Amino acid sequence: MALLSVALAHPLRDFRLELELELDGVVALVGPSGAGKTTLLSAITGLLAPREGRVALGEEVWFDSRLRVNLPPHRRRVGLVFQDFALFPHMTVRQNVAYGAPGGVDEILARFRIARLAEQRPGEISGGERQRVALARALAREPGVLLLDEPLASLDAHTKTAIRAELSRTLADTGLPTIVVTHDYEDAVAIASRVGVLVEGRLRQLGPPEELVTAPADAFVAAFTGANLLRGQATARPGAPTEVTLESGERIASQTPAEGSVDVVVHPWDVSISRDAAPAGVNALRCEVAALTRAGGRVRVLLAGPLIAELAERQAAELALVPGDFVTALFEPAATRLITRR
Amino acid sequence: MSRAAAAVLFFLASAIALAFLVFPLAALLTHSSPAALFNQLSDPLVTKALVVSIETSALAQAAILLFGTPLAYLLATRRFRGRAVVVTLVELPIVLPPAVAGIGLIVAFGRFGLLGGTFSALGINVGFDKAAVVLAVTFVAGPLYVRTAIAAFEAIDPKLVAASRTLGAGPTRTFFRVALPLAAGGLAAGGALALARGLGEFGATIMFAGSLSGITQTLPLAIYQAFDTNLDAALAISALFVIMTAAVLMSLKLTSHWHSSRSRSRTRSAIFASN
């Protein structure tokens, strides 16, 4: 399977989009809206000509600003699944899928389990079905690259989980270099083998999901993975854990060597809650319980501070937490990572 | 003022306005008996004018659709410097007095006009000929179509056009398979408006093409001539017009309703936005 290589620079309203990407397998790009994700997809498909750069699939050069190559979208072997899917409303499902297909529409309809919808129009089918049609339509063209723009954003939470798992399998099966753009880190992890964080036009980090969690490049990446972020001043202590004085004045320890202004990264699942006094050698912060939410057998406890702790349901039940309670949040120095701020 | 009094005033004002608009139409249909009006429709003055109107309107409509649709598509999809000026030029004939349009056509395409020599050399004699009627109708009615068509093309979700391109369709295939079908409701509405306006065209036609029975005399010109000699014939043609125009407007409303309920494109709002 050919590799997609993208290098581009393009001015956006407030910053420049600048990135280089060598792509095989499924990569999810996450980042806040306006970070340049949709611009990147437009540049790859040819709907937008970047100021500078090069886009190539293996030996096929689609765009090269120096060689003045700029193939129109219909000459690039790329499948794009639009946000909200952009199905043709005046065509049936079959006509939509057949639009870019050289043939074999029946087989594709069967593969995506939409054969029974073949004569329906997009307005008459559900959101999940529309997504399958959009994916089938993009793949029917036999592209060399697959791009998906927020494929799960328009689905309700109830159907999303099942469709996400199905999408993940489908993308792995195609074996195509694939970029999935999403603003949801959880979706990214569920779908892709590698996750890139795009902020203000720059790729801050690209790696397997666990790498982003265990070794985030900066505070933004850490925040995107759902980690707690605290600010403080680090003081290195030879032969002992680094001491960090938080903005609240409280002191905690970390195994990460650091000195000066730092972001403290603690994952919710590394935070436990106790009503008793803290044992020695563990970081302890006295906090008020602000809210409790349950999801999938886990309880997320929002503590004023703010700090989020994620507990097993049984553990939360034993503590009998109620908003307004004062408790001690505990986390190990080894689970307390420091990122030096620039 | 009490709420009841305000309601009565609104109702009264509405009733007067509606009556004012309906009264002349009703008078047209009731001044002579339906049988008398129907008999007048076989008068040679009327039949000849009807034939001229149908011929010239059909040709003008074909020209408007054939040349106006690409123009509207380009103006709707391209952004370039001076676009606003071009759009204004296109819309100008809508608000221009018909007499001004007539004079303009004479000095442009007439025998002694700017292009008159060129037309003569090609063996086309425009002045006081059916071609002149077609030109006058196209000039006056065409912009109504183009303006509505621009709005219809602009209302198409740009993502659908982009989707077509990424699915391997070039600009031409995208136009015929995606843009044209999605804008169809709006284009039909624009076409109907232009047809209604063209059928009623009077001022520019009488100045540029004259009123020669059987050659350039369309139905509105025939009304004007019959008004002096045979009021019943004038009434008959007028009644015919009321019915035809009402039919055009009704079909326009029905097609836009049908189109918007059939697909989810925003053509219907485009029609209303442009009116």
* Digit-coded pLDDT (tens) for B59-78: 999 999 999 999 999 999 98
Q: Does the CB of A153 have a partner CB in chain B at under 8 Å?
A: no
> How many Cβ atoms from other residues are within 10 Å of residue A303's Cβ?
24
% of chain B exceeding 90 in pLDDT: 54
Q: Using CA coordinates, name the residue in chain B closest to A47.
A: B162
Asked whether the predicted pLDDT for residue A294 surpasses 80, the reply is: yes
> How many Cβ atoms from other residues are within 10 Å of residue B173's Cβ?
15
Q: Using CA coordinates, name the residue in chain A closest to B182.
A: A90
What is the spatial distance between Cα B87 and Cα B150, in angstroms, rounded to a whole number?
A: 9
Asked whether the predicted pLDDT for residue B33 surpasses 60, the reply is: yes
Asked whether the predicted pLDDT for residue A233 surpasses 60, the reply is: yes
* Digit-coded pLDDT (tens) for A90-100: 999 999 999 98
Residues 6 or more apart whose Cβ sits within 8 Å of residue A46: A62, A63, A70, A71, A72, A73, A75, A76, A78, B165, B166
With contacts defined as CB-CB under 8 Å, which chain A residues touch B167? 74, 99-100, 137-138, 141
ipTM of the complex: 0.79
Q: Do A74 and B165 touch (CB under 8 A)?
A: yes
Q: How far is CA A150 from CA A27, A38, A181, in A?
A: 13, 9, 5
Q: Does the CB of B176 have a partner CB in chain A at under 8 Å?
A: no
Nearest to A329 by CA among A299, A300, A306, A309: A309
Residue range A181-198: mean pLDDT, rounded: 88
Name which of A76, A86, A90 is nearest B163 (Cβ-Cβ): A86
Asked whether the predicted pLDDT for residue A251 surpasses 60, the reply is: yes
In this prediction, residue B275 has a pLDDT band, given cuts at 50, 70 and 90, of very low
Asked whether the predicted pLDDT for residue A158 surpasses 90, the reply is: no
In this prediction, residue B127 has a pLDDT band, given cuts at 50, 70 and 90, of low
Residues 6 or more apart whose Cβ sits within 8 Å of residue A24: A1, A3, A4, A177
> How many Cβ atoms from other residues are within 10 Å of residue B197's Cβ?
19
Any idea what the Cα angle at residue A153 is, between residues A89 and A228, rounded to 5°?
A: 170
